[in-house]
Amino acid sequence: MRIAWYGFRRHSAYRAAALAGAFTNTVFGILRAYVLIALWEARPGLAGYDVADAVTFCFLSQAFIGPMQLFGGGVQLAERVRTGDVAVDLLRPASLQTWNLADDLGRAGYLFLLRSVPPTLVGAALFGIVTPAEPATWAFFAASFVLGVVVSFGWRYLVALSSFWIVDDRGTQSLSMVMSMFFSGMVLPLNLFPGWLGTAAQSLPWAAMVQVPADVYLGKKDVLEALGFQALWAAALLALGALATRAARRKVVVQGG
């Protein structure tokens, strides 16, 4: 808990950067909203959304970029493996994974305030977005959002761990970014994907980061099923991360002095 608070505080030192990110997310939100509006005006009711739903989806997905770190990064582990600082982390009386998770949740909390709220408000002001009427939906959305961050952490932690085996992690990072952008619903809502591609995309872990929380917000999905899907992926990725951490402990070669 305290580590999460430190993570929050550490990131609050970069307020200008977070606000710049919010600005960029907003600009992209506006551009993508126009494209989606054009599509839904040509095909009203497509994929069970109306125009307002599509615009809401667009701004929500922009709002998720910061907290869920959809462009990769956030976990500084890879950098610390390369510099050798990871030796200190491994000596700490807490598991490497839990430590990083707490730090990441703190970071996500801070970025939620600075990078998620402003784009959504601008979107609401410019285009008007759907707001759930029932308080229960808000509560479910909050739970779904937190689970989404945990799934995203589980994935990014695995990517970062790969640097124990491949020292230069930029290649893995860029492939991970491709997957998270496309299969989370960032590029287009997943329910637009045709046929088997759509089925596959809906069941991969990245769906838990954007598509599922957005659908919970819009009330388009059965809540229990959605939360269960996210929890399952969170548990699976965290377990895999724990196994990989154990393997990495044996593998680690600290470079330099």
Which of 3, 4, 12, 37: binder of another protein (CB under 8 A)?
37
Task: Note whether 117 binds another protein by CB under 8 A.
Answer: no
Give the span between the Cα atoms of 197 and 201, in whole angstroms: 6
Which of 5, 14, 99, 138: binder of another protein (CB under 8 A)?
14
**Which CB contacts under 8 angstroms, 24+ apart, belong to 171-176?**
173/72, 173/73, 173/78, 174/72, 176/72
Task: Note whether 191 binds another protein by CB under 8 A.
Answer: no
Task: Note whether 24 binds another protein by CB under 8 A.
Answer: yes
Task: Note whether 193 binds another protein by CB under 8 A.
Answer: yes
Q: How far is the CB of 194 from another protein (least distance, A)?
A: 5
Give the span between the Cα atoms of 201 and 149, in whole angstroms: 18
Q: Which is nearer to another protein, 193 or 229 (CB)?
A: 193
Q: How far is the CB of 87 from another protein (least distance, A)?
A: 23
Task: Note whether 171 binds another protein by CB under 8 A.
Answer: yes
Reduced 3-state DSSP string for 113-152: HHHHHHHHHHHHHHCCCCCCCCHHHHHHHHHHHHHHHHHH
Q: How far is the CB of 90 from another protein (least distance, A)?
A: 24
Q: Which is nearer to another protein, 4 or 181 (CB)?
A: 181
With H, G, I as helix, E, B as strand and everything else as coil, classify residue 211: helix
Task: Note whether 172 binds another protein by CB under 8 A.
Answer: yes
R_g of the chain computed on alpha carbons: 19
**b/e per residue 146-185 (b: at least 16 CB within 10 A):** bbbbbbbbbbbbbbbbbbbeeeebeebbeebbeebbbbbb
List the interface residues with another protein, window 39-58 (CB under 8 A): 39, 42-43, 46
Size of the site for another protein (CB under 8 A): 38
Residues of this chain that interact with another protein (CB under 8 A) are 14, 16-17, 19-21, 23-24, 27-28, 31-32, 34-35, 37-39, 42-43, 46, 166-172, 174-175, 177-178, 181-182, 187-188, 192-194
